[in-house]
Structure 1
């Protein structure tokens, strides 16, 4: 192995080096029995972040318009509380928030396909902590999804 090849494998990361060595990781969602593309496939990070931005923006607007501290300043704590309530209620009943619906996403339970309110409560509480959402597995699920046994898919 020459120096350029060794440096290239180091820069591209361990996954690329393992794939070059012949390891087959498959596609995201394969281990969960989900399709590779189309409806029911794992939601991509860009769509997930876009849906999160829309949901957070809606909560900020509501907090700014309805819940102010007298000077017209909405606090991020109220927006976070609104985000929590909106996510638990919408994901726990219809499976998506307004942002997820706009981006064509839905949260489903791995076993049953529908998310019950208690599972939505756990998922949203962990999502609001932010750290579990930043730790992803090979299938692209955040720690909050793994612990709640849910997955975010395309519809």
Structure 2
């Protein structure tokens, strides 16, 4: 019988009250565990600030109404799809990775970026701290 909530019975599923990520086969804490809300929120704040500065510097003269949102989307699409992280993620010490271990890739990155930009899917989460944007892209945000 397991000693703690993060352990699995031999060959069996994780307990329903297991820490976030254990049901996904991730460690309960430390490197590779599901990122907490504080880290994720810090990452979004940094990314939004960077997107706002870039939009103000390069798009304000063009009359682009949703400049920061467009830059935020582009940053997430390009950076998460290719290297699995954004500047905000790096500052917060997190990375986005696919559940099957493969690189995130363009299609999953595009789905995640689009849904993240819409906000509501990002705040509807499961017990493993995965928003609808993460579930649609089959990814999870973990600690570095």
Q: TM-score, normalised by structure 1?
A: 0.79
The gaps in structure 2 that reach 5 residues or longer are 1-14
Which residue number in structure 1 is paired with residue 123 of structure 2?
134
Match runs of 1:112-123 below 5 Å? 112-123=101-112
1:24 Cα offset (Å): 5.1
C-alpha distance in structure 2 between counterparts of 1:29 and 1:136, whole Å: 13
Cα displacement string for residues 96-153 of structure 1 (whole angstroms, at most 9, x for unaligned residues): 0000011110000001342111100000101011110010101111111011110000
> RMSD of aligned C-alpha atoms?
1.7
| Equivalent residue for 2:69, pick from 61, 80, 84 | 80
Which residue number in structure 1 is paired with residue 95 of structure 2?
106
Which residue number in structure 2 is paired with residue 25 of structure 1?
17
Which residue number in structure 2 is paired with residue 150 of structure 1?
139
User: Is the CA contact (8 Å cut-off) linking 1:59 and 1:83 kept in structure 2?
Assistant: yes
The gaps in structure 1 that reach 5 residues or longer are 1-22
> Is 2:57 the partner of 1:65?
yes
State the secondary structure of the residue aligned to 2:23: coil
State the secondary structure of the residue aligned to 1:106: strand
1:83 Cα offset (Å): 0.7
C-alpha distance in structure 2 between counterparts of 1:130 and 1:33, whole Å: 27
| Equivalent residue for 1:55, pick from 41, 47, 50 | 47
Q: TM-score, normalised by structure 2?
A: 0.85
1:40 Cα offset (Å): 0.4
